[in-house]
Structure 1
């Protein structure tokens, strides 16, 4: 080896043989050129945000130019040539590891390639960016493909109100949980290596599920079958669906849809108390159910209304069936002169008092709740009892033991009953559509209270009239004759209703003699001797006599002896 040669210099070379005896002849002469000196102090300056790498090195005096070659991980090379000691390599690709060689070049030779220098570029922007949104929870998952030369990733979301959220991860997905309903979100992600960041990925966009609407309320048009639902517009909603279920036994369902803030149910049944809920939706998602206020429809019209008259008090008791949706009821009666009387109740019956006598009334019922009134029920016509315009009078028919009852009434369209009731409970009556009738089948000796009523009712339309029936026939118990004085002691049992008694003795010729008393015996005097007498007793009051009692026939002989 021959040392000490200058670089980039041509030398003529030959070879001699030699021994102790001396040098032999020389070989053929040939020319050689030495290499240029190698470059030293090679370095690479790479800017993260550029696709250029600047390579610098130390000066080589014999070099005429320099050639720089950078080879990436895929054996793709980039190069530049310069006469200075630095060179820019353009077109550097992201996410690559580059090996850089610098060769000094002259017209005679090149330098040898020595140990290379290395650099890596910034990561590439993530690709295959996908976004997944869970409608029920509004969870958003952002994912992407992995990139080379990456330490970690940083994902950013910005909602439609400009509020940002970030996620830093070494994985290829981020979970965004604190999202808000009804908003749009834009997502980007970039990769980081050391101090270098990749460019941002393409923007991904997604919307969360629409929000539930607020202030859902329902209005009813009391005299139609329509309910109007109104709500505040909800963020992100494209369509609203309102559903309702009634509380009647049929559990009727209703629904309507709208792109605005209201819609209507039609064909709604009366008496409903509706549970209302609303859902919103967009192209992909639906919100949860938002409950609205309870909706009520007009109460149903009361059915099977009846009106029962109480003649005694001139009041009407109204009855009807329960109406769905009713909180309370108003019963009304209207007279021919327009007079209106009412009663209020939460029950299914009520009493209307203060009616005028002798009038027809039209009765109906209305059901109400807190918002609406039903239409009037079917009207029923009823009339009060006739007006009483005079006192009742009654006379006793002594022969028939009957009462001839008379009264004065304002109307002849009713059928009346005159009722006689005794203190011991006996009753007798007569009926007519006139203003008098005769009560028969009375018990003797009783004080009766006589009233007049409209037939088939319990109310009296007259004041009671007290009158006594014919006294009962007394029972003759004994006749004792005094033969010397020609008189007879007559004895009997007292009878009901009698105030006075008359004992009568009658002979065969029809001659009579008698005695009167309020007691139960008296003496009949002035009897004739030798006559056969028949003795009877008659009871009387101020008006009537009873029939004769049983007869006893004592006799007086011509000598004055009893026969």
Structure 2
């Protein structure tokens, strides 16, 4: 219950506050001097109220039943008391006449006062404390045990599990009891009738207090003062290693030892790299470790004179950045296949393609390749890859710049047209679906199908999808197109293979006269048919059309006659250079026109050894010809004289032609050639194909 003085002061305080509110907020004018006087009175009342409140708080803090007991092994005292209402803490003081003081502070009972002297009378005071005041102290007295045995020594070896205790013997003392108390309140003891005793089964990392007495009464009259000793630190335990990704290091922690004064940590990498750390606390951070390494970790704890055995473990560092990055861009799928070398310790990889405008595309994989999709045609990308061990990511690999170049055209066309006395090739192709694309046409060929007369033509880069240029007659050609834009150039397209319009027949001659004549000429390479025209009128009139090399003519005028050769690509320029009459002679009527106009008898005609038909395939084998480097095989479908022959160049001594028509007669001829000459063609040999399989 509050005292009457407190109740009175409270009432006065409330009255003063009410009047001040009136001074501050009422609309009725009140004299300022009255309000000032009221404020002075309020301060006085508040001061008085505070003093009364502190007196009341002090009156609640009362200590009762303070008492203590001696711990004779550690030479300390355990003090207990009843809890005091309103107390926030307690101060316990032990004071002896000579001035030696020792104390402890706690928030609750009990409290241990350490380091008491033996054989000493102490006054103990217990004081309750809160934020306002301190209570009157409660007192009691204790006398510690007498100091009888002196010169006690205790020794332990590093990493030993025993302590050797020694002392000076007293007369008429048959048995000594040695007791060691650990800081965790565990007890170990031994007894001896001599001046030494070995305490067994001691633990590492302990503070021990050791006394020697003559009986089980620890505070008997014959008792030593406590001897304090530390055992060797225990092997550090509870080791954890956490990677510090940014620093390429590791943060290491372990259990704290109560007796250790320092710790030594050493990390040795598989490549021999060593990182170490000395610390007075139970953690350490290692930095700048080598990437992709397994490090062996050793941690020891050191005390005053001893070092523990090491705790050993291992950990892996951040993976190294992948090397050997290669990029293969597929223009058709707008994707890029990334591949790289494996990174030690990596469990996952992340690929990145960053365009010049900052947009990024990603892929991830557990193997050393992954595909990035969605590339923009014409964009240039910075490709890189990083490795991860599930905790940390490596640095990105060295960047590799590559452009998503457009694909090459897939559809190619060729159209031959005659302009004046020359034939032009119109090369065209489909447009590529990409922005700002240019094209380059490239053509290679063999004029007169002769490997010694080669042709190579290319256009300039141009934005349109066609190109025209004059091309020689009787030429076999390959035609490709490449495309490009700012991201790069494509590979060449698939080749378009064809032949041009044949050249005009050469060495046109006739025998006979104007009434009846035989007109003949040399074969034109790639010609399928030949035509003879009379050009005496406004329009030319066809006199003969044949697949052979001669025509029988009537009413013949050599000055008004021209001869042309033709194939599927068109008709040659006409030849009006006709000579004659000449002596009559029989000419070969060739069914195939793919025979060279010039041959050389320096090379022998190849001798055919074997001709085999299997289904729609024709196999030919011949004897090799001295000085020949390659052979030309001409295959003609006998029933279709308007079809161009199949001409094949072979470096070996056999050839297999497939995809022939079933149940069809094919005739073939064979010639040997080298860089300077060609033999005469062999006589035609014919075979009938079988059924298609």
TM-score category, normalised to shorter length: 0.5 to 0.7
| Corresponding position of 1:538 | 564
1:262 offset after TM fit, Å? 3.1
Aligned partner of 2:551 in structure 1 is 523
Are residues 1:283 and 2:307 paired? Answer: no
C-alpha distance 265-139 of structure 1, shift in aligned 2 (>3 A): same
Q: By how many angstroms is 1:215 displaced?
A: 1.9
Deviations 1:211-237 (CA, angstroms, capped at 9, x unpaired): 233221122343345633233333433
Question: Contact 2:381–2:402 at 8 Å: present in 1 too?
Answer: yes
Could you give the per-residue CA deviations for residues 12-64 of structure 1, whole angstroms, max 9, x where no partner exists? xxxxxxxxxxxxxxxxxxxxxxxxxxxxxxxxxxxxxxxxxxxxxxxxxxxxx
> Structure 1's 402 and 538: CA in aligned 2 closer, same or farther, altered over 3 A?
same
| 2:359 is aligned with 1:330 | no
1:164-203 equivalences under 5 Å are: 164-169=187-192, 171-190=194-213, 199-203=222-226
Decide which structure has the larger Cα Rg and report it.
Answer: 1
CA RMSD of superposed structures (Å): 4.8
* Paired residue total: 421
Contact kept in structure 2, 1:479 and 1:552, CA below 8 Å: yes
Equivalent residue for 2:517, pick from 475, 483, 487: 487
Partner of 2:442: 418
Determine the C-alpha separation between the residues in 2 that align with 1:474 and 1:152. Answer: 140
Matches within 5 A, 1:74-223: 128-146=151-169, 148-149=171-172, 153-169=176-192, 171-190=194-213, 199-223=222-246
- Contact kept, 8 Å, 2:532 with 2:543, in 1: the verdict is yes
Gaps of 5+ in 2: 1-146, 585-693
Residue of structure 1 aligned with 2:283, choices 262, 265, 282:
262
1:434-486 CA distance string (max 9 Å, x none): 1444577778253745444559966346x7656532225657698664x6961
What's the secondary structure of 1:134's corresponding residue?
coil
Q: Counterparts of 1:442 and 1:131 in 2: how far apart (Å)?
A: 114
In 2: Cα distance, 1:446 partner to 1:437 partner: 18
- Pick the aligned partner of 2:378 from 354, 358, 381: 358
The answer (yes or no) to whether the contact 1:503–1:516 under 8 Å persists in 2 is yes
- How far residue 207 of structure 1 moved from its aligned partner, in angstroms, is 1.6
Find out whether 1:470 has 2:490 as its counterpart.
no
1:424/1:555 CA distance change after superposition, 3 Å: closer
Distance 1:439 1:172 in 2: 121
Q: How far apart, in 2, do the equivalents of 1:385 and 1:370 lie?
A: 35
Contact 1:246–1:252 (Cα < 8 Å) also in 2: yes
Q: Partner of 2:491 in structure 1?
A: 459
Distance 2:257 2:416 in 1: 93
Q: Conserved in 2, the CA contact under 8 Å of 1:446 and 1:496?
A: no
Find out whether 1:371 has 2:391 as its counterpart: yes
Alpha-carbon distance, 1:357 to partner: 2.7
Distance in 1 (CA, whole Å) between partners of 2:176 and 2:473 is 121
* Cα distance in 2 for residues equivalent to 1:168 and 1:453: 101
* Structure whose residues are more often helix by fraction: 2
Q: Give the direction of change, closer, same or farther, for the CA distance of 1:167–1:427 in structure 2 (3 Å limit).
A: farther
Give per-residue Cα distances to partners, 1:243-280, cap 9 Å, x unaligned.
32344x36141324133x43333455555544333222
Contact 2:238 2:255 in 1 (8 A): yes
Equivalent-residue separation in structure 1 for 2:574 and 2:160 (angstroms)? 113
**Residue from 258, 267, 275 that aligns with 1:244:** 267
- Residue 430 of structure 1 corresponds to 458
TM-score under structure 2 normalisation? 0.49
1:22 is matched with none
SS in 2 for 1:215: coil
Query: Residues of 2 paired with 1:522 and 1:327: CA distance?
Result: 80
Indicate how the Cα distance of structure 1 residues 256 and 273 shifts in structure 2: closer, same or farther if over 3 A, else same.
farther
Q: C-alpha separation between the residues in 2 aligned to 1:476 and 1:535?
A: 14
| Residue pair 1:145, 1:172 contacting (<8 A) in 2 also | yes
How many Å separate the matches in 1 of 2:514 and 2:291?
A: 104
Is this contact kept in 1: 2:503–2:525, CA < 8 A?
yes
Structure 1 residue 253 and structure 2 residue 284: aligned? no
Tell me, yes or no, if the aligned pair for 1:130 and 1:204 is still in contact at 8 Å: yes
Q: Contact (CA 8 Å) 1:219, 1:295: kept in 2 or not? A: no
Partners of 1:231 and 1:443 in 2: CA distance: 89
